[in-house]
Amino acid sequence: MKSVDQHPRSVLEKAPFWVVKIYPGDIGTKGGLVINEFGQVMRVNDTPLEGLYACGNSTASVMGSTYPSAGGTVGPAMVFAYIAMTHLATTRSRAGSTSITA
């Protein structure tokens, strides 16, 4: 086995840098809010609730009724958070709005 010191390291030199705190967990849901491909929460008639996004364990699982293992929801949560915020930013900039209000 190689020690950690024998592996080359990468240096991050170009900004911007993004940081996300990740906490381990072992829960998953088999229900929750239904979202579309942009992370928008959907109404019962399959139309999006404008401005309402969700990801992670608050949404229906992208894996259906299965739960692959502990931490299996972390990746989809991070991906859908990124997709949702990108969609929100793009939608707001197209509409001419730069602010987000709660």
% the chain with pLDDT above 90: 31
More confident: 21 or 9: 21
For residue 63, give the nearest of 35, 14, 29 by alpha carbon: 29
User: For 66-86, how does the pLDDT look when each residue is reduced to its tens digit (9 = 90+)?
Assistant: 777 777 778 888 999 999 999
The pLDDT value recorded for residue 102 is 45
Return all residues near 89 (Cβ < 8 A) that are at least 6 apart.
Answer: none
56 vs 27: CA distance, rounded Å:
10
User: For 13-63, how does the pLDDT look when each residue is reduced to its tens digit (9 = 90+)?
Assistant: 888 888 888 776 656 566 789 999 999 999 999 999 988 999 988 888 777
